[in-house]
Amino acid sequence: MPAIDLHAAALVAVIAAVTILLRFAPFVVFGGGRPTPRYILYLARVLPCAIMAMLVVYCLRGADPLGPTHALPELLAGTAVVLLQLWRKNTLLSIAAGTALYMVLVQMVFA
């Protein structure tokens, strides 16, 4: 067996082991019928909003309001995501439709 194949197999094995360890760690640490610590409950409550806020900043960081499109594709797609999320409450639908709308606007409308 070539050395490259052994290296790739070892790499996959290590990645799989770390993934399994990370998946089972919360059950080992917080299992046994003990109550979940308050700080973990706090993080579970605030992290989703913080992550979404970071994603919004990341997505809009390259928008140029003084550029030729005046950041309209980004703003229109972002508005569509927010409105769809408020209306349908389906994250996958909101993200997929917003991405599709952005691609259409960038490729066809504001090209």
As separate numbers, helices (DSSP H) first and strands (DSSP E) second, the chain gives: 4, 0
Q: Kindly report, residue by residue over 8-61, the tens digit of the pLDDT.
A: 999 999 999 999 999 999 888 888 788 888 998 999 999 988 998 998 899 899
- Neighbouring CB atoms inside 10 A of 101's CB total 19
Extended strands (E) in 10-104? none
For residues 23-48, b (16+ Cβ closer than 10 Å) or e, as one string?
eeeeeeeeeeeeeeeeeeeeeeeeee
Inform me whether the pLDDT recorded for 72 exceeds 90: yes
